Amino acid sequence: MPIHDRLRHARQRAGLSGAQVHDRIGIGVSSLSEFENGKREPSLSQLQKLADLYRRSVSFFFAEGPIAAEPAVLWRMRPQDNAGEIEVRFLRLCEQYHNLEMWCDERAPVSLHQAKGDATKFGYSDAEELAKQVRRDLQLGDRPGQCLLAVLEEVCGVKVFHLDFEPSGTAASAVSETFGAAVLLNANNARWRRNHDLAHELFHLLTWSLFHPVAGGPMVAGDREEKLATTFASNLLMPSEPFGSAINSRARGDKITFESLFDIARQFDVSVESVLWRMHIVYNRGQSSSDLTKGEIDQAKRLAPLLEERESPKPHPWPARYRALAIKSLRRGEIAIGRFAEYLNISRHEAMRFVEQEATDDEEVQIAPA
């Protein structure tokens, strides 16, 4: 496919108009039209600006043959304003992560077992059993929220990125034969909210082949699939027995204080809203009590400024393992300073401090006496 077709595809995939391109990088609308119609080609500096804006490598525009199908991005709720930009940025980060793994020869195979069966028959009890299996297989313990992110990133090979986007109540996941499994979380949410979103998206990764055997481009999960994901997340983060024990140990007869509920939310690293809904299920409060639970949630939100004693610093947008691989690649000479700075979104001056002290051959530790 010629360069002009690739330029048009990249802009449209990013969801940008010609006017938006002009506003972002100063290339005129008429010039862009000529580039995309094959009347003339952009200069190298213009092409670099377009590649940066579209979140593509320059080599993408010179590749031969048809454009390969891009990985699907599955949303809970697809943003209305800039979904295309978010998606291409997310996929570009996943691609860069994969490059770092290959350069360091540290490809982490995704160790997530796909759920089996028929999507039309997969029910709430199946989601609950899947949560139990995952907690057991990944050795997440009684309070998985405390370690889920680290285990998925460092042990299971899932790529988890945090970016700013709206609406805040959504998240996304992607699966690719090239880079594996990935999750996109909203950096503006509190950590305990991100925990729920991570568990929610994990369900989609585990059931990808079940619900989306043929996937491509941007997608939005259906209502039934979302409810199953919520059931899975709740059961994974607040296992019935440990959760019930935590509630019972603080209950006074058949009641429990909001103060105690906030303590339990902190223990399981989830929101107090999640605690109340989980209590609704575990204690069989039933459909008729849904309005009561919603009222309690509203009351908890009003009490949060007084009782929510948790800090939630904004997460780094790039995973710790991603940053570590970038530094290894630089120190081993696998990546240039300019690309290193690009991958970490820092200046060249900031990047230079990572090469001021080179590793020596004796940077090793004896594991046991020789």
Helix runs in 26-57, H state only = 29-36, 44-54
Q: H or E stretch including 162?
A: strand 159-163
Which pLDDT belongs to residue 214?
75
Q: Are 314 and 187 in contact (CB under 8 A)?
A: yes
Structure tokens at 175: 């699966």
Q: Are 15 and 86 in contact (CB under 8 A)?
A: no
Per-residue pLDDT of the chain (370 residues; tens, 9 = 90+): 789 999 999 999 899 999 999 999 999 999 999 999 999 999 999 999 999 999 998 989 998 888 888 888 999 999 988 899 999 999 999 999 999 999 999 987 777 888 988 999 999 999 999 999 999 999 999 999 999 999 999 999 999 999 999 888 899 999 998 899 999 999 999 999 999 999 999 999 999 999 988 766 678 899 999 999 999 999 999 999 999 999 999 999 889 999 999 999 999 999 999 999 999 999 988 788 889 999 999 999 999 999 988 888 899 989 999 999 999 999 889 999 999 999 999 999 999 988 776 555 556 788 887 6
How many residues make up the chain in this entry? 370
Tell me the three state secondary structure of residue 58: helix
Q: 84-113 burial by CB neighbour count: b if 16+ within 10 A, else e?
A: bbbbbbbbebbbbbbbbbebbeeebebebe
For residues 92 and 351, give the distance between their C-alpha atoms in angstroms, rounded to a whole number. 20
- List domains and CATH numbers for the chain: 3-68 (1.10.260.40), 90-237 (no CATH), 240-307 (no CATH), 320-352 (no CATH)
The alpha carbons of the chain give a radius of gyration, in whole angstroms, of 24
Could you identify the residue written with the tokens 């599955």? 74
Those residues with Cβ within 8 angstroms of residue 327's Cβ, 6 or more apart along the chain or in another chain: 354
Q: Are 51 and 57 in contact (CB under 8 A)?
A: yes
Q: Which of 188, 181, 143 is nearest to 164 (CA)?
A: 188
Structure tokens at 167: 């609406």
Burial class (CB in 10 A: 0-12, 13-18, 19+), 82: middle
Which pLDDT belongs to residue 150?
95
Q: H or E stretch including 274?
A: helix 272-282
